[in-house]
Amino acid sequence: MDKLAGKRVLIVEDEMLVALLIEDFILQLGCEIAGMAMRLEPALDLARTIDLDVAILDINLAGKPSFPIAETLLGRGIPFVFASGYGAAGLDGSGISAPVLQKPFDVGDVRRLLTAAL
């Protein structure tokens, strides 16, 4: 059985077209959308309160780093991956270690990193 089937995914991405692309990939992989947010504060609320299995976090949300969301998820024991046009360099100085989806990415990249995170 596919490790991703039925997993609930939180998507945090500030670019609508990219968020919709990720949503499409998640659904193709047999996952469910647990929630979506485009800004830091709503994403933090979701990270604190919803039931989810894994998250995809854009590192830069309208000029604000998503690291507080990552820390919230770490506190809840929920795995996540970052998404960034800068690759792992976007994590410099954050003190957070997590897989990074390098933009642009495809459904295979999303599958590979989410499977590894879980």
Which homologous superfamily is 8-117 in?
Response regulator (3.40.50.2300)
> Of 20, 45, 44, 42, whose CA–CA distance to 33 is shortest?
20
Tell me what pLDDT residue 96 has: 72
Cα–Cα distance between 104 and 27 in angstroms, integer? 18
Say if CB 51 and CB 3 are below 8 A apart.
no
Give the pLDDT mean for 66-90: 86
User: Considering the entire predicted model, what is its pTM?
Assistant: 0.92
Pull the structure tokens for residue 58: 């854009």
Domain ranges of the chain: 8-117
- Work out the pLDDT band at 86, boundaries 50, 70, 90: low
More confident position, 97 or 64:
64
